[in-house]
Amino acid sequence: MVVRQEWLTVDEAAEYLRASRRTIYKLCEDGQLVSYRTGERGHRRFRKEDLDRAMKRSVPESETGGLAALTAMADPVLAEIWDNDRDAAYDRI
């Protein structure tokens, strides 16, 4: 069995997590997301498994049926993403 390790750029990581570049950098600064530096210029790269791990919550499976609820109250980064003027129309739905 061949194990393929995927490395993603900041843009690719943002797209994979459906977040902004700013959010990706914030998660890195807060220590919630692991990034690796490359070359002399220090471009960030991310492993897919680290991105997946960052999205998991420490909520017992018995409480969620195996799925973790993503809420703005539980995660300030999500609150910042979801609470903005562009998405205000969705708040009324």
pLDDT digits (tens, 9 = 90+) for 75-90: 666 666 666 666 666 5
Short-list 53, 56, 58, CA closest to 35: 53
Name the residue with higher pLDDT: 4 or 43: 43
The reported pTM is 0.56
| The predicted structure's pLDDT at residue 64 | 52
CATH of domain 1-56: 1.10.1660.10
Domain with CATH 1.10.1660.10 in the chain: 1-56
| The predicted structure's pLDDT at residue 58 | 38
Amino acid at 30: D
Q: What percent of the chain has pLDDT over 90?
A: 31
Name the residue with higher pLDDT: 64 or 18: 18
How far apart (Å, rounded) are the C-alpha atoms in residues 37 and 39?
A: 7
CB atoms within 10 A of CB 49: 11
Among 52-56, 63-67, 76-80, the minimum mean pLDDT is found in 63-67
